[in-house]
């Protein structure tokens, strides 16, 4: 049966007038729905969820709220409005008109960028598919599902580009996006962080704060692309990515707030005795998720990143706002580098360290949320400070992968690392304890005892609004 494109797939890319693209999506959509039913949120496919749906790219239409069953969600395809006379802002083609079609000489690199970004979207859905069974509230359950359907919509966005601009190769890559599986030993997802487990809601909040923040920076750098359809696609995706990071920051903040309440209520006691998550354990979760997310930016010195930049395919964060020549043929940038048993700063040509420039922006952004969590602790009158570990801590990619680095930034021996590992990263027993707290709460307005209630509801709804209709 042909798809009614004006109803089933909201879009601003003229799907109804493109028969070739229609046929490709008619073939792909059933495979997507099979993937969603197999690997999407488990146990809630028939529930009515209060979700936000994008039905147009303008301010009035990108956030339409209402109850919908997730398999019936309208996964649309939207690009930000086209900017007349937009020019390529960086690389060898700076000042030239942006491309509306794939430049032949950059076809392979461009496809690789789109596939890698596209692969992260279904991966996170797969990682989070079991969390619905242990949701701490209907508010949180709804937020999980909102993140899930939007990640799937971002998959649609990348698949649209593959189908519309890359012919048979693109169609094959789009199919492969539905064949890989997070954590599968034979067909894993492309990036390591998207093969990690998300076993509990504290991990989910950390993931949406740290790992989705990497997504923000990757999308923002692709939003600078000289390939205009990719840039416009990513600019629209960023409007939805902001909610994912909000879920993470406020989620961790609510855990911090509840922990502080318990610490004041039971002074001198371990909050774990009263069903809370101690600040020391929160620090270990921060250490893990932050370090895993740092790896997503790649090696400090990267020929691929330099080639993407020079070709005009992927820029820096807010490239257009930077005041240099946007070619980086003479500029230098300081990076942290291992020299023997020390970590030193050294200057490298900026073009070689594009990944590290992007990682620097990410580090500063991540730190701002930690400051807000620490403000909650300070306002509670508790003497404790959460910190981001050194960027070399627990790294598996890049210069720091070959050494062991403490959270404070000292290179240490393997023996010292092993002796302190239990102090720096969550142990199996600590993860099991957090898992033991994951008891579902499905009464509207009620929240599990290990986190505080949110400050406000969704779309001006009250906190006791039935965000998910649980039925009988």
Residue 378 pLDDT > 80: yes
Q: Write the DSSP symbol of residue 325.
A: -
Report yes or no on whether pTM surpasses 0.85.
yes
Closest CA to 208 of 137, 134, 146, 275: 146
pLDDT band at 120, cuts 50/70/90?
very high
Determine whether domain 15-315+427-469 maps to CATH 1.10.620.20: yes
pLDDT at 5 over 60: no
* Distance from C-alpha of 377 to C-alpha of 258, rounded to nearest angstrom: 10
Closest CA to 177 of 121, 222, 139: 121
Mean pLDDT, residues 284-293 taken together: 97
Q: Provide mean pLDDT across the span 37-59.
A: 89
pLDDT of 18 higher than 60: yes
The tokens describing 88, both together, are 């390529």
What percent of the chain stands above pLDDT 70? 97
Residue 6 has pLDDT above 80, yes or no: no
pLDDT band at 50 (very low <50, low <70, confident <90, very high): very high
Which residue would you say has higher pLDDT here, 304 or 341? 304
Q: Rounded CA gap, 452 and 140, in Å?
A: 11
How confident is the model at residue 54, as a pLDDT? 82
**What is the predicted pLDDT for the residue at 370?**
98
Q: Is the pLDDT of residue 375 over 50?
A: yes
Q: Report yes or no: 182 and 211 within 8 Å, Cβ to Cβ.
A: no
Query: Token match 């906190």: residue?
Result: 463
What is the pLDDT at residue 466?
97
As a whole number, mean pLDDT of residues 340-360 equals 95
pLDDT given at position 366: 98
Give per-residue pLDDT as tens, 212-221.
Answer: 999 999 999 9
Per-residue pLDDT at 61 = 59
3-state secondary structure (DSSP) of residue 66:
strand
pLDDT of residue 172: 96
| Residue 301 to residue 305: CA distance in whole angstroms | 8
Q: Does the structure show a pLDDT above 50 at 71?
A: yes
**pLDDT at residue 1 tops 50:** no
Q: What is the pLDDT of residue 109?
A: 97
Residue 59 reports pLDDT greater than 70: no
Q: How does strand 411-412 pair with strand 332-339? A: unpaired
pLDDT digits (tens, 9 = 90+) for 430-455: 999 999 999 999 999 999 999 999 99
Would you say 3 and 29 are in contact if contact means Cβ atoms under 8 Å apart?
yes
Report the pLDDT value the prediction gives residue 119, as an integer from 0 to 100.
98
Residue pair 241/284 in contact by the 8 Å Cβ criterion: no
Provide the residue ranges of all domains of the chain, joining segments of one domain with +. 15-315+427-469
Instruction: Give the C-alpha separation, 115 to 125, whole Å.
Output: 16
């Amino acid at each position: 049966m042909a798809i009614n494109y004006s109803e089933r797939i909201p879009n601003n890319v003229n799907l109804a007038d493109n028969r070739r693209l229609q046929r490709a999506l008619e073939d792909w959509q059933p495979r997507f729905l099979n993937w969603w039913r197999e690997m999407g949120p488990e146990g809630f496919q028939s529930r009515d969820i209060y979700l936000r749906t994008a039905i147009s790219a303008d301010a009035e239409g990108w956030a339409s709220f209402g109850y919908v069953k997730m398999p019936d969600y309208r996964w649309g395809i939207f690009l930000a409005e086209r900017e007349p006379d937009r020019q390529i802002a960086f690389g060898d083609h700076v000042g030239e008109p942006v491309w509306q079609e794939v430049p032949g000489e950059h076809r392979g690199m461009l496809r690789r960028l789109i596939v890698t970004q596209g692969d992260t979207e279904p991966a996170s859905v797969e990682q989070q598919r079991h969390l619905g069974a242990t949701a701490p509230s209907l508010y949180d359950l709804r937020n999980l599902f909102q993140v899930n359907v939007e990640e799937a919509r971002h998959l649609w966005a990348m698949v649209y580009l593959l189908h519309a601009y890359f012919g048979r190769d693109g169609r094959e890559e789009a199919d492969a996006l539905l064949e890989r599986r997070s954590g599968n030993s034979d067909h894993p997802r492309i990036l390591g962080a998207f093969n990690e487990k998300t076993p509990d809601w504290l991990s989910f909040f950390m993931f949406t704060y740290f790992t989705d923040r990497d997504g923000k920076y990757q999308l923002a750098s692709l939003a600078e692309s000289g390939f205009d359809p990719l840039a416009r696609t990513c600019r629209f995706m960023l409007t939805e990515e902001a909610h994912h990071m909000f879920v993470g920051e406020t989620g961790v903040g609510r855990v911090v707030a509840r922990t502080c309440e318990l610490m004041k209520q039971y002074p001198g006691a371990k909050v774990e005795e009263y069903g809370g998550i101690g600040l020391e354990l929160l620090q270990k979760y921060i250490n893990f998720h932050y370090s895993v997310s740092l790896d997503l930016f790649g090696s400090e010195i990267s020929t691929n990143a330099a080639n993407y930049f020079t070709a005009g395919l992927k820029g820096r964060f807010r490239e257009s706002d930077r005041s240099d020549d946007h070619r980086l043929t003479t500029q230098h940038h300081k990076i942290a580098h291992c020299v023997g048993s020390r970590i030193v700063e050294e200057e490298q040509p900026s073009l070689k360290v594009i990944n590290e420039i992007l990682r620097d922006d990410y580090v500063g952004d991540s730190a701002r949320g930690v400051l807000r969590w620490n403000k909650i602790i300070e306002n509670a009158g508790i003497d404790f400070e959460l910190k981001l570990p050194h960027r070399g801590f627990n790294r598996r990619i890049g210069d720091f992968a070959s050494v062991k680095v403490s959270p404070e930034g000292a290179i240490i021996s393997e023996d010292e690392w092993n002796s302190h590992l239990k102090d720096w990263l969550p142990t199996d027993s600590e993860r099991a304890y957090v898992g033991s707290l994951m008891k579902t709460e499905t009464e509207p307005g009620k929240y599990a005892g290990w986190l505080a209630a949110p400050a406000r509801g969704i779309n001006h709804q009250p906190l006791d609004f039935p965000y998910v209709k649980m039925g009988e």
